[in-house]
Amino acid sequence: MVSAEFSSSTGPAFTRVRMTGPASEVARLVAVLSGSAEVIFDSSSDPGAAGEVEREVQLVTHAEPRPVSEAGVSVTVQSVLEAEGGAFSGLPHRTAVQEVEQTVTETLLGLPQVRQANSRVVAAWGLPSPRQ
C-alpha cells in the first residue's frame, strides 16, 4: 500500500509518502524515490510477523534551481556503493548503518572546499552471487 500527500505554495514542493509492504520492496521504492527528489525525513517500523514494514518518507523538490552564490552551494548527491562481502557485514543493523554514514561523511569532508557533509543510508541489500 502506498499513499502520498503533496503540499506547495511558491518555492519547494513537499511530498509525504507512506508505504506498507515487504521490507526489501519498500526499501527499493525509497531508493527509487530518492533518485528523483531529496529525502528530508525517513522513518521505518520494525518488520512485523509477516516481514512487512510501515515506512514514511518526506521528499522535497524544487521547481527551479537557485544559482550558486558567493555564500556557497548546497549539492544533494545520491550514491550507490557496492562493497566486498565482508564490508559492513552488520547491515542493516543500526550500528553498521551509522558506520557507513560516518565513513561516507568523512570521505566527503575530505573533498576540496567542502565545509559540511551529511550522509544517510537509504537502503542496503545483498548482491546476488556471481554465476559460475
Burial 3-26 (b: 16+ CB within 10 A, else e): eeeeeeeeeeebbebebebebeeb
Q: What is the pLDDT of residues 100-128, one digit of tens each?
A: 989 999 999 999 999 998 888 877 777 77
Q: What is the pLDDT of residues 60-77, one digit of tens each?
A: 887 777 778 888 887 777
pTM for the complete prediction? 0.54
Task: Report domain extents, the chain.
Answer: 1-63, 81-125
**Superfamily of domain covering 1-63:** Ribosomal protein S6/Translation elongation factor EF1B (3.30.70.60)
Burial of 97 per CB tally in 10 Å (0-12, 13-18, 19+) = middle
Cβ-based neighbours of 85, under 8 Å, separated by 6 or more: none
